[in-house]
Amino acid sequence: MTPTNQTKMHSEKQKGNCFAACLASLFDIPLKEIPAFEESKNWGCDFIDWIDKNNIDYTMHNTPPKGYAMANGISPRGIRHSVIVKDGRFFHDPHPSREFLTKINDYWLFTK
């Protein structure tokens, strides 16, 4: 797990790429090799296609899983955001503020 920072910040003109940065972090893949899911109108389908192509499985959890996982929720900026947790504790926030989340909606555990 290599912490990767997002390169796009959420604004009125664009969506941030925290989700892709978290995937890059978890799989030690350069961010440029992760699809720009934030630009897709069908990001969920595109995401499933990408994980299938890369032989990655994921499970969603309401409670923190063991090991590294992605936590999704609401940032202090009031927008949806993804960060990395380890054993349920905040580990890496790809946003430069490093403020993590004020509310966690779910955890995604990935296996390859």
Identify the bridge partners of residue 60 per DSSP, sorted by sequence position. 108
In this prediction, residues 76-81 reach a mean pLDDT of 97
Residue 76 lies in a domain: yes
CA atoms within 13 A on the CB side of 1: 16
What is the domain range of residue 58? 18-111
Residue 46 lies in a domain: yes
pLDDT of 1 above 90: yes
* Structural domains of the chain, count: 1
pLDDT of 43 above 90: yes
Count of positions (residues) in the chain: 112
Identify the bridge partners of residue 76 per DSSP, sorted by sequence position. none
Rounded distance between C-alpha atoms, residue 97 and residue 79, angstroms: 14
For the entire predicted model, the pTM comes to 0.96
In this prediction, residues 11-38 reach a mean pLDDT of 97
pLDDT of 112 above 90: no
Residue 96 lies in a domain: yes
Residue 32 lies in a domain: yes
Q: Which amino acid is at 83?
A: V
Residue 5 lies in a domain: no
pLDDT-based confidence at residue 41 (cuts at 50, 70, 90): very high
DSSP per-residue codes, 31-44: GGGS--GGG-TTHH
pLDDT of 107 above 90: yes
